[in-house]
Amino acid sequence: MTSLWEALVTAALLGTERQAFTPPAEAGLLGELLSRLDAANPEAALLSAAATVSLHQQVGQLPAIARQPLPTACDLDDLPRCSPQSGHHLSLMLSGEYAKVLPEWLAAVAAVGQRVPESNLPALLDLGQRKTDLQTAIAPVLGKRGQWLAAQNPDWNFVTGTEEDTSWETGNRAARKALLSRWRSQDPERTRNALAATWKQETAAEKAAFLETFSTQLSLADEPFLELALSDRSKDVRRVAADLLARLPDSRLCQRMTEQVHRYIQIGSNQTLEVTLPEALDPELLRDGIEPKVPYNYSMGEKAWWLLQIVAATPLSVWTQTPCTPEALVQAAEQGEWMPVFWSGWKRATIRQRSPTWVPALLEVYLATTQDTAYLQDEDLQQLMALLPQAEQEALALNHLQLKGIEDSVALRLLYQMRSAWSIQLGRAVLDALYQYITVLEAQPLWHLLEALKEFALWISPSLLAEAVPLAAAIENRSNWVASTDQGCWSREIEKFLALLQFRQDMLQALTQQSE
């Protein structure tokens, strides 16, 4: 067969004009097929002969024999499968429609003790491999079938935890960071030892990325390694290490910052804050993560910026060792020219040290200022709000909503940061405020409000769907729109808002149906 194929290749290379092609003689059925080719058309005969011989070779190949043993069959004693309707909802979310609702669905399935349909397992496992933040929620709803299937594919080892050592040694940066994060939540010492063993070989970007995982279960046991990282040549590595050490009030870095605060700030007998700005940055302060240049979004001088960072890395307990409360200290800062320094520094320290006692005093200033974004970015606001119990978060947002209305940017920001299920009371208040804005006020399509509706539909209880439906009618019935396009904008966004609420209601109700 090899010589026959070589003869055809030679004829093709020479060309039928230089050497006439005659179909080769061959025994058996192959020879019979070749003999039927029309030699009067040599080009067609050559191509047909090549196609015939190629197909003959493929048909004649024997299938490979697998030598590895078959995997052990899956245990069929499993959790009940969710209803077909729930499986349909999952398919929609995995295809990208209503994808933001998936975490809620996964939690609800786990709560009722069900598992996902077998047909959805590959797509769900692929999603978990790409989105590490969903891995913890995915694992409980896979059932034994999903666990078994995940064990057959190394890409899905986030479920089984197998081949971790290989992933750490050969994986890309994202895979290695995800692995460190998983180790960190289970065994911080293992994470520390693994990174210490490869530290000198890692690039600066990898060092900084891997150090970020230490924020999980951070403790003083991490301090020696982080102090070592403070001496790294990379600015980003030093920045991450300093930020982590500043979260540990008993760390040596925090004690060094305390000494700096006592040098530059005095609390007077009448609860005033007396400030002396640092004249220069010494090498130790630079090593401890104090950035010399002011970021573009801070309106202050360099020395004030240095002091702000020192305050941010000082234990909050230093300030309350005096008779002063957080509220009194914030009020004292408001009386002087250094309010931005103190407020931003205390805000950073509160987030780092996760101190809920400082949050009300800091947010009171934020809510009272006319410059609502002067000191506080969305990420910081979310982290401050998250330190408060859910009931206190809602009370804060509800009070501001009732005072200012839903069109107020601060009210929207407060609502936007509470990314968990809202109470019936708060959800109803938001719906009432929306109805009031649409029917009574100008109802211009404020883009930040229309954008917020997409998030609100994730957190308002689906049980309020019937109370939300009148929003659509209110838009249709209103006649005095400022611009002809306003009604269309509102109609489209409210339609999407109601559709998402409807989907969530259907999704949760389907989980109460008979499982299989």
Q: pLDDT of 24-77, one tens digit each?
A: 777 777 777 777 777 778 788 778 877 877 777 777 667 777 777 888 888 887
pLDDT at 204: 96
Among 215-224, 410-419, 437-446, 506-515, the range scoring the smallest mean pLDDT is 437-446
pLDDT at 378: 80
Look at 221 and 489; give whichever has higher pLDDT. Answer: 221
What is the mean pLDDT of the segment spanning 90-97? 96
Cα 385 to Cα 470: distance, rounded to the nearest angstrom: 31
Other CB atoms within a 10 A radius of the CB of residue 473 amount to 10
Contact indicator for 216, 181 with CB cutoff of 8 Å: yes
pLDDT at 442 over 80: no
pLDDT at 257 over 90: yes
Other CB atoms within a 10 A radius of the CB of residue 415 amount to 25
Confidence of residue 324 (pLDDT cuts 50, 70, 90): confident
DSSP string, 215-240: GTT--GGGHHHHHHHTT-S-HHHHHH
Q: Give residue 73's identity as a one-letter amino acid code.
A: A
Confidence of residue 106 (pLDDT cuts 50, 70, 90): very high
Cα 213 to Cα 175: distance, rounded to the nearest angstrom: 13
Q: Which residue, among 509, 462, 515, 500, has the nearest Cα to 141 in the 3D structure?
A: 515
Confidence of residue 316 (pLDDT cuts 50, 70, 90): very high
Look at 221 and 408; give whichever has higher pLDDT. Answer: 221
pLDDT at 163 over 60: no
Cα 233 to Cα 129: distance, rounded to the nearest angstrom: 33
Cα 85 to Cα 143: distance, rounded to the nearest angstrom: 18
Among 80-84, 111-115, 160-164, 293-297, the range scoring the smallest mean pLDDT is 160-164
Which of the listed ranges 2-11, 478-487, 498-507 does the model predict with the highest average pLDDT?
498-507
Contact indicator for 115, 78 with CB cutoff of 8 Å: yes
- The percent of residues in the chain predicted with pLDDT above 70, rounded, is 94
Cα 474 to Cα 435: distance, rounded to the nearest angstrom: 7
What is the mean pLDDT of the segment spanning 472-476? 87
Compute φ and ψ for 79, nearest 5 degrees: -65, 155
Q: How many residues does the chain have?
A: 516
Among 54-58, 156-160, 464-468, the range scoring the smallest mean pLDDT is 54-58
Q: Residue 206, CB half-sphere, CA atoms under 13 Å: how many?
A: 16
Calculate ∠ Cα 290-312-304, nearest 5°.
65
Among 67-81, 192-206, 225-239, 425-439, the range scoring the smallest mean pLDDT is 67-81
Give buried/exposed letters for 129-148 (b at 16+ CB in 10 A, else e). Answer: beebebbebbbbbbbebbbb
pLDDT at 486 over 80: no
Contact indicator for 115, 143 with CB cutoff of 8 Å: yes
- The percent of residues in the chain predicted with pLDDT above 90, rounded, is 57
Q: What is the largest CA-CA distance in the chain?
A: 114
Among 111-115, 176-180, 250-254, the range scoring the smallest mean pLDDT is 176-180
Look at 10 and 481; give whichever has higher pLDDT. Answer: 10
Q: Which residue, among 356, 369, 253, 370, has the nearest Cα to 312 in the 3D structure?
A: 253
Among 64-68, 274-278, 378-382, 492-496, the range scoring the smallest mean pLDDT is 64-68
Per-domain residue ranges of the chain: 2-59, 101-162, 168-245, 424-516
Confidence of residue 373 (pLDDT cuts 50, 70, 90): very low
Cα 426 to Cα 397: distance, rounded to the nearest angstrom: 8
What is the mean pLDDT of the segment spanning 83-93? 96
- With a CB cutoff of 8 Å and minimum separation 6, the contacts of 169 are none
Supply the mean pLDDT for the chain. Answer: 88
What is the mean pLDDT of the segment spanning 194-209? 95
> Tokens 């025994």 map to which residue?
27
Cα 458 to Cα 454: distance, rounded to the nearest angstrom: 7
> Tokens 């933001």 map to which residue?
100
Q: Which residue, among 215, 288, 219, has the nearest Cα to 250 in the 3D structure?
A: 219
Which of the listed ranges 344-348, 449-453, 490-494 does the model predict with the highest average pLDDT?
344-348
Contact indicator for 123, 94 with CB cutoff of 8 Å: yes
pLDDT at 372: 42
pLDDT at 496 over 50: yes
Q: Residue 220, CB half-sphere, CA atoms under 13 Å: how many?
A: 6
pLDDT at 207 over 90: yes
Contact indicator for 176, 168 with CB cutoff of 8 Å: yes
pLDDT at 72: 86
- With a CB cutoff of 8 Å and minimum separation 6, the contacts of 476 are 491
- The tokens for 411 are 């009210």
Cα 386 to Cα 407: distance, rounded to the nearest angstrom: 23
Round to the nearest angstrom and report the end-to-end CA distance of the chain.
56
Contact indicator for 329, 319 with CB cutoff of 8 Å: yes
Confidence of residue 444 (pLDDT cuts 50, 70, 90): low
Look at 25 and 364; give whichever has higher pLDDT. Answer: 364
pLDDT at 87 over 50: yes
